[in-house]
Amino acid sequence: MLRATAAKIRTAVSEANTKLEPTPAELQDLSKASDRLWQLDINRLTPENGDYEINLQEGKSWGDKRDVAPERLFVSVARGFMRRPSFSSFLALLNNYDVRVGKPEVSTTDQKAEVARFLDAILATPVIWYAHAYLVAKKLRPPEVTKFRQQLWEIWFQHYNRSRGVKDSSGYVIGVWLGGVEKREGCACL
């Protein structure tokens, strides 16, 4: 599995280096740009590759209050993906934040290093290379990657206050909270 992943990465990076610029059609049609992002995502997990298996259980209608899916959604997830830099650096972030309102966030030196590793890992992916090129072409972000990296840090990790003037949150914390990660015994758990 690792050899196949490495081959996919080499192929995608080679292709991405020559195809990073968005086409005029992609700049005019966001769905075409989204399709390109999907094609460039060499890290995505797919059930066809045996990366994961899900248990859909029983369907549910909007507004239905019954729990018709009491079992876990994921039957299995391949462990090898956690060694990929973007995944492993993301997973290292999960215990850094407290979702409680009014509890000030504190960033240790180690946590700041984890954030830096995550940003470096994602900035090394064709998806982010293309996203940056797209945003530059649309004049929505600066062309310098260092400035783009700083903006990503500000959007996702800069602490701000949700209540009582306490810097108790970041975009990452809100995203984790909305995405269903909760704090348990000192770590954020999916």
Mean pLDDT value across residues 51-59: 86
Mean pLDDT value across residues 161-189: 51
Q: What is the pLDDT of residue 26?
A: 96
Spell out the domain ranges in the chain. Answer: 45-81, 84-189
For the chain, give the mean pLDDT. Answer: 79
Q: What are the pLDDT digits (tens) for 108-117?
A: 899 899 999 9
Inter-CA distances, 183 with 94, 123, 132, 156, 167, Å:
9, 27, 32, 18, 18
Is the model's pLDDT at 159 over the cut of 80?
no
The residue type found at 64 is D
pTM here? 0.70
